[in-house]
């Protein structure tokens, strides 16, 4: 990350393809080839975890396991674990440009189980070897998911009491008696890991880094909470005492109630931050650069009582600060990390950002206030930063322009010398690429000048998020050439 470079943000799920959701198949490799043609050195994605209720990649069943939806089914067809009739019997999409997670949950998981049943004898030793190698996270995940299936897919907090205690005699007995169901989940992780490594190697060999994303919190319904309750602020019945969110701001009068369990940072420190070090280390096996989401929560976090209806009545509580990052550096050395520190930051947060030394994020959509000079304006950016036109949580550039005030439009137009012949979206991308930030990123939707239909996520709204997929025909040679020209112009 020392040299100037640029990249494109597009999650795996948004790739085109025949199986209802983007995956690790040939379309992913073709997108890497598109990045090469565009002279991009970075491909940014969202978290790779197993999504649950709400389909958010920031609320996963495990901080370590990978999403089975991303497994390329063509490999199973080629090896005879699936056939074309299986695919016809379990359709995976109704609209090629929108993910139907309900259909995937029913049918892709059914196809994966067919593939498992047709291959488990052949793969028995390989799966066992993979399990042994990854047991420090894979046991708790595969056991958790097997029990979850047995308990009608309810949250683990609503399981029968004997199963709520990790490593109880009932759990150990279940583990012994349900090896086939457990090994199905091991099978999913084996192929996720195998296919992702192959794709990552291909990407790296083309001179492109993969930028991953690490949510600060884990989900309430997760194997992490179930197997490590001592590391979280839980009551004697294992329910969270407090949960995470963000306070009211200009975007939301009620704040955002995320509902994630809060860490017991005192217990984590006594354990020498082992769980966090394991998590960071695992992440760097999967990606080359890691964006840490909601970084300000390590300095202080907004804490709310469990059961709160909104995020209004919370309080700020001190986080681990530099102690955590000093320990991570001592154990893992220097790492390529990007920190997400967007929003209002106190002097203490700014001091922590300075202390860790990692580049922080600047979003151009937050820059152009005609009445106040923003730290995010291109002329104020320092080199040790990453500039974005927008993120997965923002409007697309086109939607932003469609909704901004006349004064704001006049200011941004004058500042960047926007020209409708160039395209306003390209003018904003030009502003990012021309900046002094060492890394510039834009979502693929901004290159394509998509409106509301291209939005990935609307914070605070649970429906219709994370469903967007790209039309393959949009990734034309002409677009790659235009991106390449801009990239070469600004020496990225």
Over range 317-346, report the average pLDDT. 95
Over range 12-26, report the average pLDDT. 97
Residue 357: CB atoms within 10 A of its CB come to: 12
Please write the tens of the pLDDT for every residue from 349-381.
Answer: 999 999 999 999 999 999 999 999 998 999 999
Q: In the structure encoding, which two tokens stand for residue 328, read together?
A: 């991570």
Over range 338-351, report the average pLDDT. 92
Burial per residue of 21-57, b for 16 or more beta-carbon CB atoms within 10 angstroms, e otherwise: bbbbbebbeebbebbbebbbbbbbbbbbbbbbeebbb
Q: What is the pLDDT of residue 15?
A: 98
Q: Which residues 6+ apart lie within 8 Å of 250 measured at CB?
A: none
Please write the tens of the pLDDT for every residue from 320-334.
Answer: 999 999 999 999 999
Please name the residue that has the structure tokens 């495990």: 62
Say how far apart CA 254 and CA 265 lie, in whole Å. Answer: 27
Say how far apart CA 35 and CA 437 lie, in whole Å. Answer: 20
Over range 81-95, report the average pLDDT. 95
Helix, strand or coil for residue 87? helix
Query: Strands across the sheet with 315-318, in order?
Result: 256-261, 242-246, 300-305, 315-318
Q: What is the pLDDT of residue 116?
A: 98
Q: In the structure encoding, which two tokens stand for residue 177, read together?
A: 């008696």
151 within 8 A of 163, measured Cβ to Cβ? yes
Confidence of residue 53 (pLDDT cuts 50, 70, 90): confident
Q: What is the pLDDT of residue 210?
A: 98
**Torsion angles phi and psi, residue 472, rounded to 5:** -55, -35
Q: In the structure encoding, which two tokens stand for residue 452, read together?
A: 């509301």
Q: What is the pLDDT of residue 104?
A: 96
Residue 1 has pLDDT above 80, yes or no: no
Residue 460 has pLDDT above 80, yes or no: no
Residue 334: CB atoms within 10 A of its CB come to: 7
Over range 309-321, report the average pLDDT. 96
Say how far apart CA 156 and CA 219 lie, in whole Å. Answer: 11
Say how far apart CA 175 and CA 181 lie, in whole Å. Answer: 9
Residue 451: CB atoms within 10 A of its CB come to: 15
CATH 3.30.420.40 given to domain 5-489: no
Q: What is the pLDDT of residue 253?
A: 87
Q: Which residues 6+ apart lie within 8 Å of 297 measured at CB?
A: 216, 217, 244, 319
pTM of structure? 0.97
Residue 7 has pLDDT above 90, yes or no: yes
Annotated active-site positions, please? Answer: 293, 340, 393
What is the DSSP code string of 135-195? HHHHHHHHHHHHHHHHTTT--GGGS-GGGSSTT-HHHHHHHHH-HHHHHHHHHHHHHHHHH
Q: Which residues 6+ apart lie within 8 Å of 290 measured at CB?
A: 211, 212, 213, 214, 280, 283, 284, 335, 336, 337, 338
Q: Which residues 6+ apart lie within 8 Å of 28 measured at CB?
A: 12, 15, 22, 199
Confidence of residue 159 (pLDDT cuts 50, 70, 90): very high
DSSP label of 366: G
DSSP label of 49: S
């Amino acid at each position: 990350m020392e040299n100037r470079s640029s990249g494109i943000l597009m999650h795996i799920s948004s790739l085109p393809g025949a199986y209802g959701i983007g995956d690790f198949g040939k379309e992913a490799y073709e997108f890497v080839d598109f990045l090469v043609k565009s002279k991009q050195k970075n491909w940014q994605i969202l978290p790779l975890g197993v999504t649950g209720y709400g389909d958010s990649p920031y609320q996963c069943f495990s901080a370590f396991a990978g999403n089975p939806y991303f497994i390329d089914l063509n490999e199973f067809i080629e090896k005879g674990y699936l056939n074309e009739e299986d695919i016809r019997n379990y359709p995976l999409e109704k609209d090629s440009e929108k993910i139907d997670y309900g259909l995937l949950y029913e049918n892709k998981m059914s196809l994966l189980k067919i593939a498992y049943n047709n291959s488990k004898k052949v793969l028995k030793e390989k799966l066992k070897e993979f399990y042994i190698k990854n047991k420090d996270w894979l046991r708790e995940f595969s056991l958790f998911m097997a029990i979850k299936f047995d308990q009608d897919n309810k949250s683990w907090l609503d399981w029968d009491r004997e199963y709520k205690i990790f490593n109880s005699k009932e759990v150990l007995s279940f583990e012994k008696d349900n090896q086939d169901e457990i090994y199905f989940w091991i099978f999913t992780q084996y192929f996720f890991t195998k296919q992702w490594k192959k794709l990552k190697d291909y990407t790296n060999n083309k001179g492109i880094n993969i930028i991953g994303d690490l949510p600060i919190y884990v989900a309430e319904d997760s194997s992490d909470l179930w197997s490590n309750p001592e590391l979280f602020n839980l009551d004697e019945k294992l329910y969270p005492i407090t949960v995470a969110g963000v306070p009211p701001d200009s975007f939301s009068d009620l704040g955002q109630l995320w509902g994630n369990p809060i860490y017991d940072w005192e217990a984590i420190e006594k354990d020498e931050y082992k769980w966090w070090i394991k998590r960071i280390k695992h992440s760097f096996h999967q990606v080359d650069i890691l964006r840490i989401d909601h970084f300000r929560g390590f300095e202080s976090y907004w804490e709310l009582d469990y059961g709160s209806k909104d995020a209004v009545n919370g309080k700020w509580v001190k986080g681990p600060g530099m102690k955590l990052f000093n320990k991570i550096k001592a154990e893992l050395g220097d790492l390529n990390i990007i920190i997400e520190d967007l929003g209002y930051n106190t002097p203490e947060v700014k001091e922590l950002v300075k202390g860790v030394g990692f580049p922080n994020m600047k979003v151009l959509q937050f820059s152009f206030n005609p009445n106040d000079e923003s730290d995010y304006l291109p002329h104020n950016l320092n080199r040790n930063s990453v500039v974005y036109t927008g993120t997965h949580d923002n409007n697309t550039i086109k939607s932003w322009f469609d909704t901004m005030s006349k004064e704001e439009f006049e200011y941004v137009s004058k500042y960047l010398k926007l020209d409708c012949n160039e395209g306003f979206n390209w003018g904003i991308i030009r502003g990012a690429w021309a900046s002094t930030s060492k890394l510039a990123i834009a979502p693929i939707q901004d290159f394509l000048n998509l409106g509301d239909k291209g939005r990935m996520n609307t914070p605070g709204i649970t429906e219709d998020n994370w469903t967007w997929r790209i039309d393959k025909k949009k990734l034309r040679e002409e677009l790659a050439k235009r991106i390449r020209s801009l990239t070469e112009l600004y020496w990225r």
